[in-house]
Amino acid sequence: MKKLIVLAMMLGFFGATGFSQGQEIGLCKNNKTGVYIFATAAELKTDKCPNGYTFVDINQIGPQGPQGPAGPTGATGPAGSTGPQGTQGPQGVQGPAGPAGQTGATGPAGSTGPQGPAGPQGPAGSDANCVQLAGDTMTGALNVPQISSNSAGASLSISAANGTGNGGPINITGGTAGTSSGGGGGDINITAGQNMPIGGSGWSGLGPCGNVNITGGAGYNTAGGNVTIQSGVTSDWASPGNAFSTVLIQGGPMGGVNAGGSIEVEGGHNVSTGDPSDATGGNVWLNGGNANGSYSGGSIILAGGTGSPGGGVVISTNGTQPACSPSNRGMLWYIQGGAGVKDSFEICAKDATDSYAWRALW
């Protein structure tokens, strides 16, 4: 029975291994182990096997029986290794361009490149009034409407050159009117800067307004330099008569009220047109500021300096005492007496009868 099962298994194996129906097949059986092996073609011809084997003639393979039912699917084996990559396929048709992206941030400025070689110098100009530039120094006539510093808040300095002897002066002159149509002379305006708050209104961040400082030169083992402010010369041909120029030192207004005090120094008065030999001396006016509404006006305060002894206020008069009249009403006159003579101090005033006379104060 066991031999038949083995033979049946082998016959089934024959069908699975590709033997065709009617083909002669022989086996060689191992006499010790009982294992069968296929006989070679030469062994089939002689019906003999190698020593230790017995030839078994199976004759011909019978017809193949019906196929049995399929067995259950076995477990999935492990995934094999990835095969080599295939060749790249042809490139597809290019799609339409997408919308442009936003502009990126500007990168940092690159370093300044090396300065190129200087070009050849041009021919000398023929205009003597052109500005000559040497380094940071300009010489000649400057024909521009404005000179400004090169950045916000930077200072602007105009300096004359130092000399090996005397130092160079600075001359600022307003323009003279032309003769073809006449006109007024040009002004010279020196104005300090205005202060401003943050944002242009309010009080935040306010600093002081700019000052106008005029200072004479410092002396080196000498007196310092003078500061002279002089009004213009009045022509003896000025019309009408009694014309004069004025130096005015005026305190600033308070808002829209001109409440500042002032000092007015008059130039010489011409007496009559066309006579250069006659002139009336100019007056000096010390004016307290005018108040607004019911508030008090400004006073004139003459104060001597402190010291040991302290300074006082000295009244000194020169020349001949004029007659007291409405034109000099309120004038004070001090006369120093000679040896053995009392000093006198008088005021020009009007009494109740409207008579003008010098009244003794001392």
Helix (H, G, I), strand (E, B) or coil at 199: helix
Exposed / middle / buried, residue 203 (Cβ in 10 Å: 0-12, 13-18, 19+): exposed
17 has a pLDDT exceeding 70: no
Helix (H, G, I), strand (E, B) or coil at 138: strand
1 has a pLDDT exceeding 60: no
Chain mean pLDDT for the chain: 83
Q: Which amino acid is at 90?
A: P
Exposed / middle / buried, residue 56 (Cβ in 10 Å: 0-12, 13-18, 19+): middle
| Integer Cα distance of 337 and 323 in angstroms | 19
Contact 328, 311 (CB under 8 A): no
Of 203, 109, 182, 193, the residue nearest 155 (C-alpha): 193
21 has a pLDDT exceeding 60: no
- Give alpha helix (H) positions in the chain: 2-16, 41-46
Pick the range with the lowest mean pLDDT from 47-61, 87-101, 117-131. Answer: 117-131
| Integer Cα distance of 131 and 125 in angstroms | 11
Query: H or E segment at 265?
Result: strand 262-266
Q: What is the pLDDT of residues 275-319, one digit of tens each?
A: 777 888 999 999 999 999 899 999 999 999 999 999 999 999 989
Of 219, 216, 210, the residue nearest 156 (C-alpha): 210
pLDDT of residue 169: 85
164 has a pLDDT exceeding 90: no
**Given pLDDT bands bounded at 50, 70 and 90, which one contains residue 8?**
very low
7 has a pLDDT exceeding 60: no
Contacts of 148 (CB under 8 A, 6+ apart): 156
125 has a pLDDT exceeding 70: no
Between CA 216 and CA 223, with CA 220 as vertex, the angle to 5 degrees is 55
**Given pLDDT bands bounded at 50, 70 and 90, which one contains residue 23?**
low
332 has a pLDDT exceeding 50: yes
How far apart, in Å, are the Cα atoms of 144 and each of 15, 65, 148?
118, 123, 11
Top pLDDT among 334 and 169 is at 334
Q: Is the peptide bond before 99 cis (omega within 30 degrees of 0)?
A: no
Rounded (to 5) percent helix, strand, coil in the chain: 5, 15, 75
Top pLDDT among 164 and 247 is at 247
Most confident option among 5-14, 26-35, 114-123, 333-342: 333-342
Q: What is the pLDDT of residues 178-216, one digit of tens each?
A: 999 989 988 888 888 888 999 999 989 988 988 888 898
pTM for the predicted model, two decimal places: 0.55
pLDDT of residue 43: 80
Q: What is the pLDDT of residues 215-270, one digit of tens each?
A: 988 899 999 999 999 999 988 888 777 889 999 999 999 988 889 999 999 999 98
Percentage of residues in the chain having pLDDT higher than 90: 31
Q: What mean pLDDT is predicted for residues 87-94? A: 87
CA 242 remoteness from chain centre: 56
